[in-house]
Amino acid sequence: MFGNFFGGGNNGGQSGGGIAHGAAGPVAVPLTPAAGTQQPTAQGNGNPAANNSDTGQPAAAGKESSPLDKLQAFWQNTVDADGKPVAQAADPTAQTIYNFDPTKVSASAKTLDFTAGIDPALATKALQGDAAALMDLVNGAIQNSFAAMTLQTGKLINDGVSINNTRVKEVLPKHIRAVQVDQATATNPVLSHPAMQPLFATLKSYAASKNPNASPTEITQQVEGLLSGMAEAMQAASPAAQAAAKTAAAGESDWTKFIEGN
């Protein structure tokens, strides 16, 4: 606009180019540096933020803030003191209690003596052809094996139940907290709508897994903040909002109205 009043200009004193105004609109006019004047070089590998000669805009003091900037940590993995990702603890109740290695089981079975309970006199009679003694011998061996198997199986069951009870006690508070997080309601009724509830529940579960010490209320507030920030950023970046911002900015610097007394 100032070009209409004062003619051509150097667009804020930049030496890389000027703007001449004519009937057909603004036309770029290259300017030649004066003798002995060093031509400025573009920095930042052609990044417009580093070299603003094309737009005539001053370099930005910093990246424009966004409502989502403070929410980036929500998606970042939890790391330890060395900066390495912290692996999520496995559910103890999902682990097997006993690991049966066939090789080790076979080796252990070979150390058992199933003849220890056999009566030597009965064995002698059986070897001499006494059929009744042979039947008693076989029956006694099977009975001893059945008794040993029953005792060993009972011990495995009792030990397994005890181990599993310990695991349940360990994970029970986590499962109770998961239920509390799932049942926590949002302060914004929009997030309770059936269309938003699955997303809201998924984000709460994710946040709870990353913050095991946070309360259900804190988890809900964190997720609400994330979704509110997303909505705010999307609203601010919508074409209508961008057009309104440009209109407001143009109205603040419309010197024509000032000169015309409007």
For residue 66, pLDDT beyond 90 = no
Confidence band of 218 (pLDDT split at 50, 70, 90): very high
pLDDT of residue 160: 94
Q: b or e along 42-56 (b: 16 or more beta carbons within 10 Å of the residue's beta carbon)?
A: eeeeeeeeebbeeee
Query: Residue range 177-193: average pLDDT?
Result: 89
- Provide the pairing of β-strand 18-22 with 25-29: antiparallel
pLDDT of residue 150: 94
Burial of 34 (0-12, 13-18, 19+ CB in 10 A): exposed
Confidence band of 256 (pLDDT split at 50, 70, 90): low
Q: What percent of the chain has pLDDT over 70?
A: 69
**DSSP 8-state code for residue 93:** G
Query: Residue range 41-49: average pLDDT?
Result: 44
pLDDT of residue 260: 61
DSSP-based three-state secondary structure for 184: coil
Length of the chain: 262
Domain ranges of the chain: 91-183
Query: Residue range 237-248: average pLDDT?
Result: 80
Amino acid at 92: P
**DSSP 8-state code for residue 108:** H
pLDDT in tens, 6-44: 444 444 444 444 444 444 444 444 444 444 444 444 444
CA distances from 114 to 89, 132, 150, 176 (A): 44, 20, 15, 50
Q: CA-CA distance, 144 to 250, in Å (whole number)?
A: 99
Which of 19-28, 103-112, 175-184 is least confident? 19-28
CA distances from 150 to 103, 116, 147, 232 (A): 22, 18, 5, 68
164 contacts 93 by C-beta, under 8 angstroms: yes
pLDDT of residue 63: 57
pTM of structure: 0.48
Q: b or e along 132-151 (b: 16 or more beta carbons within 10 Å of the residue's beta carbon)?
A: ebbebbeeeeeeeeeeeeee
Q: CA-CA distance, 171 to 91, in Å (whole number)?
A: 7
Residue 85 sits at the vertex; the CA angle it makes with 80 and 88, to the nearest 5 degrees, is: 100
Residue 60 sits at the vertex; the CA angle it makes with 25 and 18, to the nearest 5 degrees, is: 30
Q: CA-CA distance, 208 to 74, in Å (whole number)?
A: 11
Q: CA-CA distance, 123 to 55, in Å (whole number)?
A: 107
* β-sheet bridge partners, residue 26: 21
Structural element, H or E, at residue 19: strand 18-22
Q: Using alpha carbons, select from 257, 255, 235 the residue that is nearest to residue 245.
A: 235
Greater pLDDT, 181 or 45 = 181
pLDDT in tens, 219-242: 999 899 888 888 888 888 788 877
